[in-house]
């Protein structure tokens, strides 16, 4: 996490201007609070970023019925601060509909990956904006429906002509209501009009998978709604947002860019003393710790614990990493039941005297995730420095200083941002707890074979259904280890594969006697005449190491070769820093290596129908997902 | 003062400081379009902590006009 730095100093300005790579620019933003950059410095950084166009850059198009031109530069900077490159395109003024209907429109041709739409009611519904009190209740309702229809049409068009994820800003609620205080007393109030419209819009986007309600009203509230609109800029150039609003809007958009491009982190690792409670349990004793009501510092730590619990409820795993005697730490949780957190809330605990980077390594290992999926929170700058140096991929948050400032810093973490929370996420903590139990079973079972059989694993496998696509997309985005080709398809592409008859999008749901592990397998197969090409094969790390992959490949062999009568299956392995666990998968499944790509490291494989054999996978039952 | 103004102009228009002259205008500078004009105005307002009126902003046609509207440099 960035220290609360201030704007650009002359040397950072110079460095940004002379940067010779995108990462050099990212470096100059390292200690800068983006919100404090002047408009001129934003220009300077955005210009510097533009000097390094890359195919990796996220393409963002901005549309609206007001002037949105100043925004892209701010988004470029906010995304760069997260290490993400962007290129942008601005639609024609007030032609937001034409720009997504016309296949020749520059916006469509730009092939945006993110499409941002902001419509002001000032021009979209002037009667609502200026003459609300002259409208009858019925007319107000019709206006709302008309506005909603327009959004619906726009979403439909944009989804047809682009592959983009859509961000639809909600109309901003006015500060001054036309009926003044009496608005509350109206049968259909102006404030209520915006609330209802918001709810309708959310309903429209919810479950869509590609369209998201961008809460502009909340975003502007955070930065100050009154200062966020400068009438002078509006009258002169139809700009709805002043420079004071732009960093906040850009920050929010950058969160989406981040969520689209980078997997969310999975585990929040916390220190104990002076992080989750005030004081040192080994010295002050459980009774002496400041946490809980009755003491202002205790109240702050209590709120920190509540927030941590909130992260757990949204699917983030919790772990402890504290230098203490474990018995002291356990006693604190026992003796202070008024604390929101309990010892059992933590899936993994490393409470001992090991160096923290080693503890973090063990935490990641026992959860079977990478250390780059960890967020580490500690009050001690020395520990934080150590972890930053030893494990730079960990997101280290130094939560120190005045306790009253800490809850908001914890609250504003965006490292766990995800576009969807699936049922799997909301149940994840319990799934991982079951997984930890499985691990301890493995330790005691001794014989791996009989352990695997005792798990009674069931794989339900078959063609994906529409309700699976969010999770499928999530697996494409998040899975690093068991991922043969690491193709990061976006939500729109996933939907296209699902619709395309030349592709089979297959999924697997796994359960065992400890519980349901959820949808954890994805296969994307391209049908090319007599050839079935395995484009992607992804397995969540939750079910690695128990033969599920063999069961899936067996099913594929049957589906395409042995029963399906096709001539051959092909596939490739593209090495990354993470997917070594599957380097020899094809060999073990009986495929023949065709070539070693010398430069990319890609290995291509083939399996002819005559060579296809179903391999044994003890303890696994496979069923068709359709029947369930 | 004048140098401060010129530095702002150079940064916003993305031109070298030495090339800034009073005669510079949207007609002579390629990057000076209507939106850049407003960015220039807001940057000058921020730098000198002033607020220019809409009429003034519309009347400003070149760097010399800007300079004339900075109260500290007026005469």
Q: For the segment A177-220, what is each residue's pLDDT rounded down to a tens digit?
A: 999 999 999 999 999 999 999 999 999 999 788 999 999 999 99
Chain B CB contacts of A43 under 8 Å are: 11-12, 14, 39
Mean pLDDT, range A6-34, rounded to an integer: 83
Q: What is the band of A17 on the pLDDT scale with cuts at 50, 70, 90?
A: confident
pLDDT cut 70: percent of chain A above it = 94
CB contact under 8 A, A39 and B43: yes
Q: For the segment A578-607, what is each residue's pLDDT rounded down to a tens digit?
A: 788 888 899 999 999 987 766 778 899 999
Top-level CATH class of B2-73?
Answer: mainly alpha
Q: What is the band of A135 on the pLDDT scale with cuts at 50, 70, 90?
A: very high
CB contact under 8 A, A237 and B34: yes
CB contact under 8 A, B38 and A243: no
pTM value is 0.71
- CB of B40 within 8 Å of a chain A CB? The answer is no
What is the helix (H) or strand (E) element at residue A138, kind and residue range? helix A137-161
Q: How far is B54 from chain A (nearest CA, A)?
A: 7
pLDDT cut 90: percent of chain A above it = 68
The whole-number pLDDT of residue A446 equals 52
Contact A524, A472 (CB under 8 A): no
Chain B CB contacts of A231 under 8 Å are: none
Chain B CB contacts of A39 under 8 Å are: 39, 42-43, 46
The whole-number pLDDT of residue A403 equals 96
Distances in Å between the Cα of A447 and the Cα atoms of A213, A441, A450, A472 are 52, 11, 6, 34
Mean pLDDT, range A161-174, rounded to an integer: 95
Range of weakest confidence among A24-33, A133-142, B43-52: A24-33
Under 8 Å CB pairs connecting chains A and B tally to 33
The whole-number pLDDT of residue A242 equals 93
Chain A CB contacts of B14 under 8 Å are: 43, 47
The whole-number pLDDT of residue A7 equals 67
Chain B CB contacts of A47 under 8 Å are: 14
Per-domain residue ranges of chain B: 2-73
Residue A1 pLDDT greater than 60, yes or no: no
> How far is Cα A404 from Cα A401, in angstroms, rounded to an integer?
9
CA-based nearest residue to A551, from A623, A492, A469: A623
Q: How far is A29 from chain B (nearest CA, A)?
A: 19
A339 φ, ψ (degrees, to nearest 5):
-70, 140
Mean pLDDT, range A559-587, rounded to an integer: 89
Measure CB to CB from residue B12 to each of A40, A67, A235 and give the nearest one.
A40
Residue A559 pLDDT greater than 90, yes or no: yes
User: Domains, chain A, ranges and CATH?
Assistant: 1-52 (no CATH), 54-261 (3.40.50.1110), 267-411 (3.40.50.1000), 446-627 (3.40.630.30)
Give the A window 11-30 contacts with B, CB below 8 Å: none
If you average pLDDT over every residue of chain A, what do you get?
90
Residue B67 pLDDT greater than 70, yes or no: yes
A88 φ, ψ (degrees, to nearest 5):
-130, 165
Mean pLDDT, range A247-259, rounded to an integer: 95
- CB of A198 within 8 Å of a chain B CB? The answer is no
Cβ atoms within 10 Å, residue A17: 14
The whole-number pLDDT of residue B21 equals 93
A317 φ, ψ (degrees, to nearest 5):
-80, 145
Which residue did the predictor score with more confidence, A406 or A41?
A: A406
Q: For the segment A64-83, what is each residue's pLDDT rounded down to a tens digit?
A: 999 999 999 999 999 999 99
Secondary structure (3-state) at B22: coil
DSSP secondary structure of A312-335: HHTT-EEEEEEES-HHHHHHHHHH
> How far is Cα A204 from Cα A194, in angstroms, rounded to an integer?
15
The whole-number pLDDT of residue A432 equals 67
Which residue did the predictor score with more confidence, A8 or A299?
A: A299
Which residue did the predictor score with more confidence, A17 or A219?
A: A219
CB contact under 8 A, B43 and A235: no
Mean pLDDT, range A161-181, rounded to an integer: 95
- CB of A39 within 8 Å of a chain B CB? The answer is yes
- CB of A234 within 8 Å of a chain B CB? The answer is no
The C-alpha angle A214, A217, A218, rounded to 5 degrees, equals 85
B14 → chain A, closest CA residue: A44
- CB of A43 within 8 Å of a chain B CB? The answer is yes
- Residue holding tokens 């996420």? A425
Residue A563 pLDDT greater than 80, yes or no: yes
Contact A75, A112 (CB under 8 A): no
Residue A148 has which token pair?
Answer: 């909603």
CB contact under 8 A, A40 and B11: yes
Mean pLDDT, range A11-35, rounded to an integer: 85
A232 → chain B, closest CA residue: B54
Q: For the segment A365-380, what is each residue's pLDDT rounded down to a tens digit?
A: 999 899 999 999 999 9
Give the A window 203-232 contacts with B, CB below 8 Å: 232
- Give the CA-trace dihedral at A146, A151, A157, A158, to 10 degrees: 170
B36 → chain A, closest CA residue: A70
DSSP secondary structure of A444-466: HH--HHHHHHHH-EEEEEEE--G
Rg (CA), chain A: 27
Alpha helices in A81-215 (DSSP H): 98-101, 106-109, 121-124, 126-130, 137-161, 190-205
Q: For the segment A277-316, what is each residue's pLDDT rounded down to a tens digit?
A: 999 998 899 999 999 888 899 999 999 999 999 999 999 9
Q: How far is A7 from chain B (nearest CA, A)?
A: 15
Q: For the segment A439-479, what is each residue's pLDDT rounded down to a tens digit?
A: 665 555 456 677 677 778 899 999 999 889 988 998 998 88
Residue A421 pLDDT greater than 90, yes or no: no
CB contact under 8 A, A39 and B39: yes
């Amino acid at each position: 996490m960035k220290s609360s730095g201030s704007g650009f100093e002359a040397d950072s300005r110079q460095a940004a201007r002379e940067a010779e790579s995108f990462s050099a620019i990212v470096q100059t933003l390292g200690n800068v609070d983006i919100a404090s950059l002047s408009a001129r410095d934003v220009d300077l950084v955005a210009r510097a970023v533009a000097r390094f166009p890359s195919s990796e850059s996220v393409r963002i198009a901005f549309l609206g019925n007001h002037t949105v031109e100043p925004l892209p530069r701010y988004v470029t900077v906010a995304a760069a601060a997260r290490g993400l490159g962007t290129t942008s395109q601005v639609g024609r003024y007030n032609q937001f509909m034409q720009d997504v209907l016309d296949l020749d429109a520059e916006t469509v041709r730009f092939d945006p990956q993110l499409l941002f739409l902001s419509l002001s009611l000032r021009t979209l519904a002037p009667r609502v904006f200026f003459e609300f009190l002259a409208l009858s209740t019925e007319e107000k309702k019709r206006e709302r429906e008309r506005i909603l229809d327009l959004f619906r049409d726009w979403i439909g068009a944009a989804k047809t002509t682009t592959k983009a994820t859509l961000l639809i800003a909600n109309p901003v609620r006015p500060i001054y209501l036309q009926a003044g205080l009496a608005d509350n007393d109206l049968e259909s109030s102006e404030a209520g009009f915006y609330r209802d419209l918001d709810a309708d819009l959310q309903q429209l986007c919810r479950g869509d998978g590609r369209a998201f309600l961008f809460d502009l009203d909340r975003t502007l509230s955070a930065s100050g709604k009154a200062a966020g609109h400068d009438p002078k800029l509006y009258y002169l150039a139809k700009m709805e947002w002043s420079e004071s609003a732009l960093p906040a809007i850009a920050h929010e958009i950058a969160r989406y860019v981040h969520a689209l491009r980078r997997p969310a982190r999975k585990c929040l690792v916390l220190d104990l003393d002076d992080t989750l409670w005030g004081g040192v349990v080994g010295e002050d004793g459980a009774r002496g710790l400041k946490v809980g009501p009755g003491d202002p510092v205790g109240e702050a730590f209590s709120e920190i614990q509540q927030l941590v619990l909130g992260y757990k409820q949204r699917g983030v795993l919790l772990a402890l990493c504290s230098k203490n005697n474990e018995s002291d730490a356990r006693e604190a949780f026992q003796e202070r039941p008024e604390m929101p957190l309990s010892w059992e809330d933590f899936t993994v605990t490393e409470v001992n005297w090991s160096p923290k980077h080693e503890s973090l390594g063990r935490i990641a290992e026992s959860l079977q995730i990478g250390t780059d999926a960890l967020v580490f929170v500690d009050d001690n700058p020395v520990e934080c420095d150590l972890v930053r140096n030893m494990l730079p991929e960990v997101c280290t948050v130094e939560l120190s200083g005045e306790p009253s400032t800490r809850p908001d810093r914890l609250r504003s973490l965006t490292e766990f941002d995800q576009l969807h929370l699936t049922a799997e996420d909301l149940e994840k903590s319990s799934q991982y707890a079951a997984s930890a139990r499985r691990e301890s079973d493995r330790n005691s079972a001794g014989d791996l074979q009989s352990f695997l059989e005792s798990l009674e694993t069931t794989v339900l496998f078959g063609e994906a259904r529409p309700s699976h696509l969010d999770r499928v997309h999530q697996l494409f985005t998040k899975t690093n280890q068991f991922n043969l080709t690491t193709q990061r398809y976006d939500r729109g592409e996933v939907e296209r594969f699902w619709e395309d008859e030349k592709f089979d999008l297959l999924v697997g749901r796994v359960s065992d006697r400890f519980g349901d592990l959820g949808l954890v397998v994805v296969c994307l197969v391209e049908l090319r005449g007599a050839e079935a090409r395995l484009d992607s094969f992804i397995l969540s790390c939750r079910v690695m190491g128990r033969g599920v992959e063999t069961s899936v490949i067996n099913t594929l062999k049957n589906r395409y070769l042995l029963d399906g009568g096709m001539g051959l299956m092909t596939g490739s392995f593209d090495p990354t820093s993470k997917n070594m666990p599957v380097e020899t998968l094809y060999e073990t499944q009986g495929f023949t290596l065709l070539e070693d790509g010398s430069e990319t490291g890609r290995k291509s494989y083939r399996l002819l129908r005559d060579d296809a054999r179903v391999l044994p996978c003890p303890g696994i039952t496979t069923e068709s997902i359709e029947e369930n | 003062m004048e140098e401060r103004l010129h530095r702002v102009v150079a940064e916003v228009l993305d031109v070298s400081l030495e090339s800034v002259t009073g005669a510079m205008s949207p007609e002579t500078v390629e990057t000076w379009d209507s939106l850049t004009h407003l960015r220039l105005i807001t940057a000058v307002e921020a730098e000198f902590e002033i607020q220019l009126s809409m009429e003034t902003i519309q009347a400003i046609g070149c760097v010399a006009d800007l300079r004339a509207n900075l109260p500290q440099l007026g005469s």
